[in-house]
Amino acid sequence: MSPVNLLDFDLDGLAAHCQTLGEKRFRAVQLFRWIHQKGAADFGQMSDLAKSLRDKLAGSAVIRPLALLSEQASTDGTIKWLFDVGNGDAVETVFIPEDDRGTLCVSSQAGCAVGCRFCSTGHQGFSRNLSTGEIVAQLWFAEHHLRQRLGLAAGERAISNVVMMGMGEPLQNYAALVPALRTMLDDHGYGLSRRRVTVSTSGVVPMIDRLREDCPVALAVSLHAPNDALRDQLVPLNRKYPLAELLQACRRYLASAPRDFITFEYCMLDGVNDDPEQARELIALVHGPRAEQRVPCKLNLIPFNPFPASGLKRSPRERVMAFARQLQEAGIVTTVRKTRGDDIDAACGQLAGEVQDRTRVHKRMTRPVIRIEPSTQDLT
């Protein structure tokens, strides 16, 4: 039998596993702390665990790290790691240091089946879901590697925030995602605040509802268009869950969310979604026809990060700023995301890893649907 990977368990899962070994919950807590707080990968290190338990674990379990393929460091301090996840697939994880925080951008899938037009991961197609252990291993590696590298004192943390904004659609890998989130939040694990763990989704409506029940964390929704006609083209999942349903799910989510707003992400594409009329439409959309239909939100404008074969261009800076001003004047808190790590292709939407496409997504993408002239019928 192949050994169990203990990174696959949240604390309750580990306690259940320990029970099968005849061990009490407090042993699972000790073990969990060794793994996640101290970064131990070797049962021999776990000095306060009984020798008999260490022996049992050594024969049946492992703490399986991801195989590191490469590391790239940007001039702005951003670090991107590429991990081998087997069978020709590789995923990327990005560390983004700022003065007051350290953010880790984590991948949830090898590739992505949603196939957004402006996303390099989407263009690659989909291979498979990552396991909980593979999601958690990205944080486990980054936290403990950075603590050493940055020479942090005992008790200091390298990573204060996690954003599920790497490769993949986290809400299409729900079963693996939730235990991973719980491990991030657990005081015996990484102890991250719910407000500092963000799930970003292209809008898988039923799973937004489940996340609200199972593990509410901060929610970011990738909007990118103010109407269904355009969003259908940019984010194909919109055909299944159109904007009205998505916004209703956002409102429901806020009832249990750790923050009192949803972050809407909006990737600024030259001549596609950056027109003043589209800003007006976007304002009307989030304000809703009636006050009770308003979605409390922040808008995060992301200047498009180009990649070969996208056929799209970044909106000029003045246009992004004018769009932002229009939203702000309508009372919507709006930020323009600083591009980080673009010299190493680590910026939003540039993560491509290596994916063996097992779908036809890539093939579909080669059909030119989007034209960048604002007047084309396709876009209005």
Give contact residues for ligand SF4 (rule: CB under 6 A): 112, 114-116, 119, 121-122, 168-169, 202, 222
How many residues touch ligand SAH (CB under 6 A)?
16
144 Cβ neighbours under 8 A, 6+ residues apart = 39
Least distance (Å) from ligand SF4 to the CB of residue 193?
A: 24
Which one of 57, 135, 204, 302 is in contact with ligand SAH (CB under 6 A)? 302
Which of 201, 238, 263, 334 is close enough to bind ligand SAH by CB under 6 A? 201
267 binds, among ligand SAH, ligand SF4, none (CB under 5 to 8 A by kind): ligand SAH
Q: Are strands 61-62 and 4-5 parallel, antiparallel or unpaired?
A: parallel
Q: Which stretch binds ligand SAH (CB under 6 A): 118-126, 250-258, 287-295, 371-379?
A: 118-126
How far, in Å, CA of 285 to CA of 313, rounded?
Answer: 25
Contact 61, 32 (CB under 8 A): no
200 binding ligand SAH? (CB under 6 A): yes
CB 172 to ligand SF4: min, Å? 8
Give the C-alpha distances (Å, rounded to integers) separating 371 from 78, 114, 233, 375, 378: 33, 20, 11, 9, 8
Partner from ligand SF4, ligand SAH, none binding residue 115, C-beta < 5-8 Å depending on class = ligand SF4
Question: For ligand SAH, what does the binding mask look like between residues 321 and 350, x meaning CB under 6 A?
Answer: ---------------------------xx-
Distances (CA, A) of 357 to 131, 167, 233: 18, 13, 21
Minimum gap (Å) between residue 34 Cβ and ligand SAH: 31
The secondary structure of 225-266 as a DSSP string is: -SSHHHHHHHSGGGGTS-HHHHHHHHHHHHTT-SSSSEEEEE
265 binds, among ligand SAH, ligand SF4, none (CB under 5 to 8 A by kind): ligand SAH
Compute the half-sphere exposure of residue 323: CA atoms within 13 Å on the CB side of its CA.
31
Question: Toward ligand SF4, which CB reaches closer, 235 or 285?
Answer: 235
**Judged by CB under 6 A, which stretch of 15-23, 153-161, 197-205, 364-372 contacts ligand SAH?**
197-205
DSSP string over 61-117? EE--PPEEEEEEE-TTS-EEEEEEEETTEEEEEEEEEETTEEEEE---EEE-SS--T
Residue 52: strand, helix, or coil: helix
Contact string 233-272 vs ligand SAH (x = CB under 6 A): --------------------------------x-x-----
169 catalytic per annotation? no
The catalytic residue among 18, 23, 92, 215 is 92
Taking the CB of residue 86, how many other CB atoms lie within 10 A of it? 11
C-beta of 380: minimal distance to ligand SF4 in Å?
A: 22
Record the tokens describing residue 145, joined without a space.
């590697």
Distance CA 120, CA 53 (A): 46
3-state secondary structure of 302: strand
Angle, vertex CA 306, rays to CA 349 and CA 316, nearest 5: 115
Query: Does the annotation mark 105 as catalytic?
Result: no
Instruction: Considering the complex, state which of residue 142 and residue 351 has its C-beta at the smaller distance from ligand SF4.
Output: 351
- Contact footprint for ligand SAH (CB under 6 A): 118-120, 165, 169, 200-202, 222, 265, 267, 302, 304-305, 348-349
- Give the residue numbers marked as catalytic: 92, 348
